Structure 1
Amino acid sequence: MISIGENTIYRYKEFTEWTDTLHNIHEKIWLQPIAEGKASVGEIISHLKNWDTYLISTIIPAIKNGKGMVFPDFDYFNNIAYEYARSGVSRNCLLDEFKQTRTMLVETLLTESEVVAKPVTANGLENCPHTGTPYSLLYIIHEFNDHDNHHKNQILTVL
């Protein structure tokens, strides 16, 4: 039987099945903002990949070392991802990089169950200020699933 945590993690991986459909998106749409003042499809995918990479390289090691999760300034961090999407990296390459990163993260999450469920702070807070739920990496993945769906809906309105 799959636990709630495993279900959340598998849902996180399933998002790559949907992003695989974006290989056929026209190049003109790929880097066009989805709305005025918003990111493009390519920038969104780069943004998602950047956060997954951050979880792998920074958050998981911090938790393993008994520290809390520290997230950088979102705007600055997201702008780095947007710049990468506009750097000339191809649509297919970026989609492949995203899928590889997400798959690597999911495999790590499934094998590091003690890290995933461990209560930790997020930027010094023990509980989410919106829900009161204690922070853990699993809680962040749950939030990231909602975040993925938000971006999926944005992209679908453009397509």
Structure 2
Amino acid sequence: MNTKQEKLAAFAELAGFAESLERLTEEAWAGPIAEGKWSPRDIISHMMLWDKYFLENAVLPMAEHRPMTLKPLDFDEFNRDAAAYGRTRSKQDLIRQTVEARKRLIEVIESIPESEFGHKYEDKLSVDEYLLDFYEHDRHHMAQINTYLSERA
């Protein structure tokens, strides 16, 4: 993953992965991936809400050359709230929101010139760092769900 397009193609994989989960039974969708762990629904909701948070508070401001509005968060609280949010939505709605959020992020990142990808905005974050961090975050959670599904098969 060296070019902007390669990075964005890898980043886009979450949308297709989320869509593939529509085939899950309600039991598989809502069941914990391991004892004391989240369900695929909780994980997808968590990923979608982080996408929305970073879109509004970091990526859009980067693209529009305005100050970022990232603030210190209690990650555990954010993640609990994200899982709770997912429980209020249908599988189809949550997957649709996830796909839309990721596609919107990609659209905005596409508008940022590749020459600016390494620039640290406000000495906090660059587009490259964001893409790498969330690529790894995506892979971690997709692997968790895939392991869970293969163990159920």
Structure 2-normalised TM-score?
0.84
Task: Indicate the larger mover: 101-110 or 139-148.
Answer: 139-148
Shift of residue 73 of structure 1? 2.1
**AA in 2 matched with 1:94:** L
Alignment gaps of 5+ in structure 2: none
The residue number in structure 1 matching 2:31 is: 32
CA distance in 1, matches of 2:98, 2:2: 26
Identity of aligned residues (%): 28
Root mean square deviation of aligned Cα = 2.1
What is the distance in 1 between the residues matched to 2:8 and 2:47? Answer: 15
Aligned residues: 145
**CA–CA distance in 2 between the matches of 1:72 and 1:110?**
27
C-alpha contact (below 8 Å) 1:59/1:69 kept by paired residues: yes
Q: Distance in 2 between matches of 1:10 and 1:152?
A: 16
The answer to whether the 8 A contact 2:48-2:102 is kept is yes
* 1:106-126 alpha-carbon deviations (Å, 9 max, x no partner): 01000123664321333xxxx
Q: Deviations over 1:99-155 (max 9, x none)?
A: 011001101000123664321333xxxxxxxxxxxx412212111111111111110
> In 2, are the aligned partners of 1:59 and 1:70 still within 8 Å (CA)?
no
SS at match of 2:32: coil
Partners of 1:109 and 1:116 within 8 A in 2: no
The correspondence of residues 8-157 of structure 1 with structure 2, limited to 5 A, is 8-63=7-62, 64-67=65-68, 69-70=70-71, 72-87=73-88, 89-113=89-113, 116-120=117-121, 121-122=123-124, 135-157=125-147
- Distance across 2 between alignment mates of 1:10 and 1:154: 21
Compute the displacement of 1:5 (Å). 2.9
User: Could you give the per-residue CA deviations for residues 6-34 of structure 1, whole angstroms, max 9, x where no partner exists?
Assistant: 31122111221222110000101111111
**Counterparts in 2 of 1:71 and 1:10: CA distance versus 1, 3 Å:** farther
Does the CA-based 8 Å contact 2:42-2:87 persist in structure 1? yes
